[in-house]
């Protein structure tokens, strides 16, 4: 701990009050490990401001003392985006007490919301106002709006509504010097110079602390249909996507791919999770169609679509949910993929995107490369086929040593990324760079692009105090 920290902690305690700061190691410990358990750090204190003015004060005091801050939402990052360092020199800045929905306007279709509201709570709040907040990710019960925006989360509905970035109309941000930028506008058109809010979305807490946002809402679906389809191959999954697009592109709410290997892990490790199809398949698609139009006849249209796909040999078996509970049970099979993999042992995660048309080739080539590198490795590709983002996750061979497997994470990620590069894809689709992937940046985003990013960082945060060690190498 730096020499001036005890005095700083006293001042912070005075300013934030006893519930606004945690310094007992028993209380700070849960904030020092990430969801994947890749990093375990230490911190002298977790700062928990409850209002924007308090965040600004914390940032000002820490900037003056030269104390680095690691902003944290639900701590669900897949890349150690909110991991504190091992030397105990960084404070955690938790936004969890900033958890108010400030305003929802169903006519403007906007929601002003604070950073610490969980995504799930935000979805419910929108629903109460008869609107839809379309962002949906597996960790939405814990992930918070601030983190979701700071990482530009994508998720299941990107195919229809875009990423988090596309849903942001306004932002409130505390800058590295403690100034508050109030950009909480709710305009759909506003061409007034640089689009500053988009600088902070996806900046992973390295340029400022997002304290609140104005999000775009959408009409709530009046008809929703969810189907689980057993298909014969990734190529067949893509053919089904094409068939959906030809049928009614506007109705596709989610189009998720799962491999038989991933589904088998879900069945094995998650209680009450079983695909409702006649026999286990090598590949699956979860298809969700939705429309805000009443009486649109989505159900017969989906039945027709699937019947035709079966006749054409694209789909082997399919089950359409008959109730909300069945819809949730089908979604659970998809959303528990990460948890099931965690229980199966150590995993290396590749969060990659390629043009949608290249997804089958990606899956085949990357599987081949990894199986050659590590015999017995369990390749578990799954994810957002409709937007080209596949989680090409690699679970350790059964019974192997987890540490020895994880020691090869760079080798495995780099091998997969060579295929990704060849297919004109990206090594980071929706999880961000965090602490795990800055080493990849010079290779993928080097030259003028990385130089520009470094200049932006230096201009906004010359002391390098916000989320050090993340995003930039
Ligand atoms: C998901 O879509 O469930 C997560 O982004 C996946 C992961 O574990 O890589
Ligand atoms: Zn995902």
CATH number at residue 412: 3.30.70.2740
Contacts of 19-23 with CB under 8 Å at 24 or more apart are 19/48, 19/97, 20/47, 20/48, 20/49, 20/50, 20/54, 20/97, 21/45, 21/46, 21/47, 21/48, 22/46, 22/48
Ligand 1 pocket, Cβ-based, cut-off 6 angstroms: 78, 138, 337-338, 349, 351, 383, 391, 393
Supply the CATH number for residue 77's domain. 3.30.43.10
Q: Please indicate, yes or no, whether residues 199 and 248 belong to a single structural domain of this protein.
A: no
Question: pLDDT at position 309, please?
Answer: 98
In ligand 1, the atom with minimum distance to the C-alpha of 383 is 2
Q: Is residue 269 part of a domain?
A: yes
* 177 alpha carbon – ligand 2 mean position (Å): 34
CA distance 184 to 178: 17
What is the domain range of residue 295? 223-337
The reply to whether 184 falls in a domain is yes
429, 438, 352: which is closest to 163 by C-alpha? 429
Ligand nearest to the backbone CA of 337: 1
Looking at residue 356, the DSSP 8-state letter turns out to be: G
Let me know whether 230 and 298 are in one domain.
Answer: yes
Q: Residue 2's pLDDT is what?
A: 59
Residues 80 and 187 in one domain: no
Query: Domain check: are 106 and 213 in the same one?
Result: yes
pLDDT along the chain (473 residues), means of 10: 81 97 97 97 98 98 97 98 97 98 98 98 98 97 98 98 98 98 97 97 98 98 98 98 95 98 98 96 98 96 97 98 98 98 98 98 98 98 98 98 98 98 98 98 97 98 98 97
- Residue 472 domain-assigned (yes or no): no
Please tell me the predicted confidence (pLDDT) of residue 1. 58
Q: Of 94, 120, 148, which one is at a domain's C-terminal end?
A: 94
Same domain, 363 and 327: no
Determine the distance separating the centroid of ligand 1 and the alpha carbon of 241, expressed in angstroms: 20
- For residue 456, being part of any structural domain is answered with no
Report if residue 464 sits inside a domain: no
Do 376 and 268 fall within a single domain?
Answer: no
**Within a domain: 84:** yes
What is the C-alpha separation between 218 and 160, in angstroms, rounded?
11
> Cα(107) to centroid of ligand 2, in Å?
31
Domain stop point among 337, 358, 374: 337
Spacing of C-alpha 422 from chain mean position: 25
Is the domain of 215 the same as that of 290? no
**Domain CATH for 137:** 3.30.465.10
Task: For residues 192 and 287, state if they share a domain.
Answer: no
| Cα-to-centroid distance, 338 and ligand 1 (Å) | 6
End residue of a domain, out of 94, 122, 149: 94
Same domain, 189 and 240: no
Dump the DSSP string for 75-93.
---SS-TTPPPTTS--EEE
Instruction: Give the mutation target among 379, 384, 391 for probing the ligand 1 site: most ligand atoms within 8 A of CB.
Output: 391
Closest CA to 158 of 351, 365, 444: 351
Q: Residue 303 falls within a domain, yes or no?
A: yes
Domain count, the chain: 4
* pLDDT given for residue 4 in this prediction: 72
Residue 469 lies in a domain: no
Residues 252 and 330 in one domain: yes
Same domain, 31 and 114: no
Q: Closest ligand 1 atom to the C-alpha of 393?
A: 9
* pLDDT recorded at residue 258: 98
Tell whether 304 and 350 lie within a shared domain. no
Residue 208 CA to residue 215 CA, distance in Å, equals: 18
């Amino acid at each position: 701990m730096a020499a001036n920290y005890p005095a700083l902690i006293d001042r912070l305690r005075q300013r934030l009050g006893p519930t606004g700061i945690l310094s007992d190691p028993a209380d700070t410990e849960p904030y020092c490990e990430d969801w994947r358990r890749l990093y375990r750090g230490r911190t002298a204190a977790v700062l928990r401001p409850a209002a924007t003015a308090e965040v600004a004060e914390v940032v000002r005091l820490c900037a003056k003392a030269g104390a680095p801050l690691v902003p944290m939402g639900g701590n669900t990052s897949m890349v150690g985006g909110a991991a504190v360092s091992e030397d105990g020199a960084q404070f955690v800045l938790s936004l969890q007490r900033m958890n108010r929905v400030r305003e929802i306007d169903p006519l403007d279709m906007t929601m002003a919301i604070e950073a610490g509201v969980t995504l799930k709570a935000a979805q419910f709040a929108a629903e109460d106002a008869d609107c839809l907040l379309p962002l949906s990710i597996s960790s939405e019960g814990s992930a918070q709006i601030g983190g979701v925006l700071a990482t530009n989360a994508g998720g299941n509905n990107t195919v229809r509504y875009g990423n988090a970035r596309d849903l942001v109309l306004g932002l409130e941000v505390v800058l590295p010097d403690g100034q508050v930028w109030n950009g909480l506008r709710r305009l759909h058109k506003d061409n007034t110079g640089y689009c500053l809010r988009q600088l902070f979305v996806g900046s992973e807490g390295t340029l400022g602390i997002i304290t609140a946002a104005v999000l775009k809402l959408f009409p709530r679906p009046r008809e929703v249909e969810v189907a689980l389809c057993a298909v014969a191959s990734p190529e067949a999954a893509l053919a089904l996507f094409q068939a959906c697009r030809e049928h009614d592109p506007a109705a596709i709410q989610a189009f998720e791919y799962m491999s038989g290997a991933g589904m088998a892990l879900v069945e094995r490790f998650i209680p009450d999770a079983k695909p409702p199809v006649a026999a286990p398949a090598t590949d699956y698609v979860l298809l969700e169609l939705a429309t805000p139009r009443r009486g649109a006849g989505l159900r017969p249209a989906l039945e027709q679509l699937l019947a035709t796909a079966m006749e054409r040999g694209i789909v082997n078996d399919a089950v359409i949910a008959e109730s909300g509970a069945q819809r949730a049970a089908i979604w659970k099979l998809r959303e528990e993929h990460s948890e099931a993999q965690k229980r199966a042992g150590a995993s290396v995660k590749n969060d990659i995107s390629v043009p949608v048309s290249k997804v089958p080739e990606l899956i085949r080539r990357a599987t081949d490369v990894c199986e050659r590198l590590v015999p017995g490795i369990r390749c578990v590709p799954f994810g957002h086929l409709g937007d080209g983002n596949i989680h090409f996750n690699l679970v350790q061979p059964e019974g192997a040593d987890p540490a020895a497997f994880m020691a090869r994470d760079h080798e495995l990620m780099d091998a997969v990324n060579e295929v990704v590069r060849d297919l004109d894809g990206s090594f980071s689709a929706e999880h961000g760079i965090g602490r795990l992937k800055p080493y990849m940046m010079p290779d993928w985003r080097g030259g003028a692009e990385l130089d520009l990013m470094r200049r932006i960082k230096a201009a906004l945060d010359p002391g390098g105090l916000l989320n050090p060690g993340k995003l930039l190498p």
